[in-house]
Structure 1
């Protein structure tokens, strides 16, 4: 027997399940990017609002490219189990906020019609940093144009991706897609729609056979869409909504509504995401499979602690960064998460530019050390070899994989030239860092050390552990 609406009544009493009507109301939210993260984060916030009696938060979920996931969710009536596990214990929940589903690549018109539906109040997005392309903007614009032409009210369009100023970037992208004849749509959009910036934070690994087996055991039914996540979650969103009353509603569900999203998003990008990328690359090169495997090693834990405290925190405006760091170290060590280092290392060439250079440049401006970032950059260079220190090969899942691996292949024979060439790439490091001789020299130093003695030895030498 599979998880479905009919199966809910047979689930064990300790499983939290939806008790609201999922059949007689139209969705109020269209979500683009129906991956694991959304289903274990925003969808659970909307589930909480629905459980409180507000029927306007059902989700029309849109898979951008993956029909397999959408088809599995359809067979389960949009239901899936989430294991929430941390130091406080383990609990299972079946959120019920996902009411309808489509795939953007094959059912584009249905998605446009969903954005234009009278019941739609919000559009949310988790399509990853590399997904902010003209075709995404055109999809949104086509739906918004239909709303405007039908005389409908404006909506809130909330980016939840790891991009600084994500709301501003998304709004600019949509407006750039407009044609000269779209002047009325743009005027309506400016007057009635809202593009708040937001920051979302919850560690949600890709589903594994272990999680699916655990879900089967806990629920007594099969669930092909089960997920595992941590107890911690954070959603910080700018106080900018098409319906201002949404601010209080979101706050009632634990969302932080503020005029200052930037201080939270920069802390997350540079502390959590920056550390994640560094550890993922270290794990990939040393053959450690999960983030918990990395942070559990004393010298890597000390490296991450110092990276955040010595080189990242001095350039943050989030005042509670020390408490945030403590929470991050504990979260990274959560044994239930099984967060694959290769999953996190995916698209590193797209992620590093946002996560590392701002801190390095801040340190340079203050005449302070940037050794931890230099070592991390050296590990990234070593990662492009595509083989770990045990001789096991791995794939670089990256849009720049071909050029990175071509460069990486030269490390054995001309390591200094390889480092110099990689550090000269402005798409990775911006325009200022490639000009800094001291930065290049320190990355070269650590890269040579790693090639000769390994990543662990280099980290131990830096941290003195």
Structure 2
């Protein structure tokens, strides 16, 4: 079967597949994206594609994979083209965005990346490098490229982190200006680092998705992926070029003065629930999030977690609507979002997702049952074997150390909680020393050990759920 590329684009079906309308071969990249992967290609790249179609010619993307060569090379063979299957309540449709104009691999060709940062046409750098990606190597790459711009007398850039880190723009700015000197002063004065929040569920690509793309396109696509219809990008009004704000807003981006209300709601409602369900699903032997939320006890748990222990401390006013939308999104059967994919790097994610809500609930003298249950399920998840006796792999930078602690105290809830509560990098400085928290986690771990996750959930609901639960 022929491959998707610029020569075969006209072979796509006339109905059912949206294709790029811009004259791509005349475009040069205005955006350098670091962290080329599924999320960027199903989120920001579609926003930039919309802008290109509307005649804003400087939003083409040079996508950079940090280390892996496989995807970047596949996309290069396809001239940056790939198909996205979008699943909504109205059904499935396919889109081939045209924003990705060029690809590189930072580890293999750093000079190409530095040249791109220093290119006169480059206006933005966007990043999806995950929580563990803010490294000295990233700082060095950005500083070297920005130094070339400074030396060439070029304008500064807007650098936007598109990830789940709180205050991500300020974190990136601090990373880039940590070394005092003239370059850091130039970066601080000439570049902009807006905070942003991004939201779209994008599962990892699967062989089934690639096969579905072949059937829909009539072409082979090595980089096809799937996502949901919902998306949200909220970005702080902080740009080198003020005209970028209205341009992004015209494509559906929410441009605000303060991202925090949206950021906190997403981290604690969506991501916090995702982490809890991922651990439950892995331990129970469920494959995907739709299986989890399709289990009535888990759905009831997630609704109560969000409504009673997370939402009271959010400043996003429409949190109830956001919660209800999340419950529907989690149940989308087309997404097939693996619980093990979501559980990846849990030690880096949990500190941002659960402790802030738990600390505030404790300070207010309110209930923590669902947050403590989440923590207990995570401790059970660390054993690396589900309730059917089948092993699974922990994909986490702290996997070896955490699993060793969990296994050393397997079956002893009190000892497990004592050992793993000492990890301040997971729980922060407050929770490990709060007897209500450690006591609740120990209680729920004991019930999970005795009854299994589902049995412990049902017991929790009997004790805490109000009448008229969803």
TM-score past 0.5 threshold: yes
Could you tell me how far apart the structure 1 residues matched to 2:194 and 2:311 are?
25
After TM superposition, list the pairs within 5 Å mapping 1:420-439 onto structure 2: 420-439=418-437
> In the alignment, what sits opposite 1:371?
369
In the other structure, the counterpart of 1:258 is 256
Q: Is the 8 A contact 2:269 2:323 kept in 1?
A: yes
Of the candidates 383, 387, 390, which is equivalent to residue 388 of structure 2?
Answer: 390
Q: Which moved more, 1:211-220 or 1:411-420?
A: 411-420
Task: For 1:133-212, list aligned pairs within 5 A.
Answer: 133-176=135-178, 178=179, 183-212=181-210
The SS at the match of 2:177 is helix
Q: Size of the alignment, in residue pairs?
A: 461
Which residue does 1:403 correspond to in 2? 401
* Contact 2:85-2:94 within 8 A present in 1 as well: yes
- Matched with 2:73 is 71
Match of 1:31 among 33, 39, 43: 33
Matches within 5 A, 1:30-429: 30-176=32-178, 178=179, 183-429=181-427
Residue of structure 1 equivalent to 2:468:
none
Indicate conservation of the 8 Å contact 2:411/2:449, yes or no: no
Q: Which moved more, 1:131-140 or 1:187-196?
A: 187-196
Q: TM-score, normalised by structure 2?
A: 0.97
Which SS does the other structure have where 1:6 is aligned?
A: coil
Task: Confirm or deny that 1:9 pairs with 2:7.
Answer: no
Q: Shift of residue 137 of structure 1?
A: 0.8
Unaligned runs of 5+ in 1: none
How big is each residue's C-alpha offset from its partner over 1:392-450, in whole Å with a ceiling of 9 and x where there is no partner? 10001001101111012134353311111111210000001111011101110110111
1:413 & 1:260 partners in 2: Cα distance?
Answer: 46
Which structure 2 residue ranges, 5 or more long, are not aligned?
466-470
Give the RMSD, CA atoms, in angstroms.
0.9
TM-score, with normalisation over the residues of structure 1? 0.98
Q: Tell me if the contact between 2:410 and 2:416 (Cα under 8 Å) persists in the aligned partners.
A: no
Cα distance, 1:128 vs structure 2: 0.3
The Cα of 1:461 is off from its aligned counterpart by: 1.2
Report if aligned partners of 1:423, 1:440 keep a CA contact under 8 Å in 2: yes
8 Å contact from structure 1 (residues 385, 411) kept in 2: no
Contact 1:141 1:174 in 2 (8 A): yes
Between 286-295 and 15-24, the greater mean CA deviation after superposition? 15-24
Q: 1:462 offset after TM fit, Å?
A: 1.2
- Measured in 1, the distance between the counterparts of 2:159 and 2:401 equals 36
SS where residue 55 of structure 1 aligns?
A: coil
Partners of 2:202 and 2:335 within 8 A in 1: yes
Measured after TM superposition, the shift of residue 463 of structure 1 is 1.7
Give the Å deviation of 1:191.
Answer: 2.0
Contact 2:350–2:426 at 8 Å: present in 1 too? yes
Deviation of 1:355 after TM superposition, in Å, equals 0.2
Deviations 1:186-235 (A, max 9, x none): 23222221000000000000001111111111100111100000000000
Mapped partners of 2:409, 2:84: distance in 1: 43
Query: In structure 2, how many angstroms separate the alpha carbons of the residues matched to 1:413 and 1:42?
Result: 45
Query: How far apart, in 1, do the equivalents of 2:231 and 2:290 lie?
Result: 18
Q: Distance in 1 between matches of 2:328 and 2:283?
A: 23
Give 1:184 shift.
2.7
**How far apart are residue 25 of structure 1 and its match?**
2.3
Q: Quick one: distance in 2 between partners of 1:147 and 1:285?
A: 51
Tell me, in whole angstroms, the C-alpha distance in 2 between the residues paired with 1:330 and 1:359: 23
Post-superposition Cα deviations, 1:298-333, rounded to whole Å, max 9, x if no partner, equal 110010000000000001010100000000000000
